Amino acid sequence: MARVSQVRRVLLVGWGFLGAAVGRRLALDGQSLVGLTRSDSVEARRARALGIQMVIGDAANSAVLEEALNGVDYVICAAGGLLPPEAQERPAADATATLLPLLSLLEALRK
Protein backbone atom coordinates (compact mmCIF):
# COMPACT_ATOMS: atom_id res chain seq x y z
CA MET A 1 0.00 0.00 0.00
CA ALA A 2 1.38 3.41 -0.96
CA ARG A 3 1.89 5.96 1.79
CA VAL A 4 -0.12 9.13 1.47
CA SER A 5 1.90 12.15 2.49
CA GLN A 6 0.15 15.17 3.83
CA VAL A 7 1.40 18.66 3.25
CA ARG A 8 2.20 20.27 6.56
CA ARG A 9 2.74 23.96 7.15
CA VAL A 10 6.31 24.68 8.24
CA LEU A 11 7.68 27.86 9.83
CA LEU A 12 11.33 28.43 9.04
CA VAL A 13 12.84 31.03 11.38
CA GLY A 14 15.90 32.62 9.81
CA TRP A 15 16.18 33.17 6.07
CA GLY A 16 19.90 33.69 5.69
CA PHE A 17 22.41 31.43 3.99
CA LEU A 18 21.26 28.20 5.66
CA GLY A 19 17.57 29.03 6.13
CA ALA A 20 17.08 30.10 2.52
CA ALA A 21 18.66 26.88 1.22
CA VAL A 22 16.49 24.72 3.49
CA GLY A 23 13.41 26.77 2.61
CA ARG A 24 13.92 26.45 -1.13
CA ARG A 25 14.34 22.68 -0.78
CA LEU A 26 11.16 22.35 1.28
CA ALA A 27 9.23 24.50 -1.20
CA LEU A 28 10.49 22.42 -4.13
CA ASP A 29 9.35 19.31 -2.24
CA GLY A 30 5.84 20.78 -2.08
CA GLN A 31 5.75 21.85 1.56
CA SER A 32 3.64 24.80 2.62
CA LEU A 33 6.11 27.24 4.07
CA VAL A 34 6.27 30.43 6.10
CA GLY A 35 9.63 32.16 6.40
CA LEU A 36 10.53 34.58 9.18
CA THR A 37 13.43 36.92 8.57
CA ARG A 38 14.70 40.21 9.98
CA SER A 39 14.92 42.05 6.67
CA ASP A 40 13.31 42.13 3.26
CA SER A 41 16.45 40.83 1.56
CA VAL A 42 17.05 39.53 -1.93
CA GLU A 43 16.60 36.01 -0.53
CA ALA A 44 13.22 36.96 0.99
CA ARG A 45 12.07 38.39 -2.35
CA ARG A 46 13.20 35.23 -4.14
CA ALA A 47 11.21 33.19 -1.63
CA ARG A 48 8.07 35.22 -2.35
CA ALA A 49 8.61 34.58 -6.06
CA LEU A 50 8.46 30.84 -5.23
CA GLY A 51 5.13 31.38 -3.45
CA ILE A 52 6.55 31.26 0.06
CA GLN A 53 4.82 33.47 2.62
CA MET A 54 7.41 35.70 4.26
CA VAL A 55 7.06 37.48 7.59
CA ILE A 56 9.53 40.32 8.06
CA GLY A 57 10.41 41.05 11.66
CA ASP A 58 12.50 40.20 14.69
CA ALA A 59 12.05 36.65 15.98
CA ALA A 60 12.60 37.98 19.49
CA ASN A 61 9.35 39.98 19.17
CA SER A 62 6.34 38.06 20.52
CA ALA A 63 3.85 39.75 18.16
CA VAL A 64 5.96 38.84 15.13
CA LEU A 65 6.24 35.26 16.37
CA GLU A 66 2.51 35.03 16.97
CA GLU A 67 1.84 36.09 13.36
CA ALA A 68 4.44 33.70 11.96
CA LEU A 69 3.29 30.71 14.07
CA ASN A 70 -0.35 31.02 13.03
CA GLY A 71 -1.44 27.72 11.50
CA VAL A 72 1.95 26.00 11.39
CA ASP A 73 2.54 22.34 12.19
CA TYR A 74 6.34 22.34 12.41
CA VAL A 75 9.07 24.85 13.22
CA ILE A 76 12.65 24.87 12.01
CA CYS A 77 15.02 27.38 13.59
CA ALA A 78 17.91 28.42 11.37
CA ALA A 79 18.28 31.91 12.82
CA GLY A 80 21.84 32.96 13.43
CA GLY A 81 23.50 35.89 15.03
CA LEU A 82 26.14 38.10 13.53
CA LEU A 83 28.16 37.39 10.41
CA PRO A 84 31.34 35.38 11.16
CA PRO A 85 33.92 38.23 11.14
CA GLU A 86 31.81 40.36 13.48
CA ALA A 87 30.90 37.35 15.63
CA GLN A 88 34.57 36.63 16.16
CA GLU A 89 35.20 40.22 17.25
CA ARG A 90 32.07 40.45 19.43
CA PRO A 91 31.23 36.96 20.77
CA ALA A 92 28.92 38.21 23.54
CA ALA A 93 26.87 40.26 21.07
CA ASP A 94 26.72 37.24 18.77
CA ALA A 95 25.47 34.99 21.58
CA THR A 96 22.78 37.53 22.45
CA ALA A 97 21.74 37.94 18.80
CA THR A 98 21.47 34.17 18.46
CA LEU A 99 19.90 33.19 21.77
CA LEU A 100 17.24 35.89 22.25
CA PRO A 101 15.24 34.87 19.15
CA LEU A 102 15.60 31.18 20.07
CA LEU A 103 14.41 31.76 23.65
CA SER A 104 11.50 33.87 22.42
CA LEU A 105 10.54 31.16 19.95
CA LEU A 106 10.65 28.47 22.62
CA GLU A 107 8.50 30.61 24.91
CA ALA A 108 5.96 31.24 22.13
CA LEU A 109 5.77 27.50 21.43
CA ARG A 110 4.92 26.82 25.08
CA LYS A 111 1.69 28.83 24.77
Does residue 3 surpass a pLDDT of 80?
no
The pLDDT value recorded for residue 25 is: 95
DSSP labels for 11-62? EEE--SHHHHHHHHHHHHTT-EEEEEESS--HHHHHHHHTT-EEEES-TT-H
Q: Is the pLDDT of residue 4 over 80?
A: no
25-81 confidence digits (pLDDT tens): 999 999 999 999 999 999 999 999 999 999 999 999 999 999 999 999 999 999 988
The pLDDT confidence band at residue 2, using thresholds 50, 70 and 90, is low
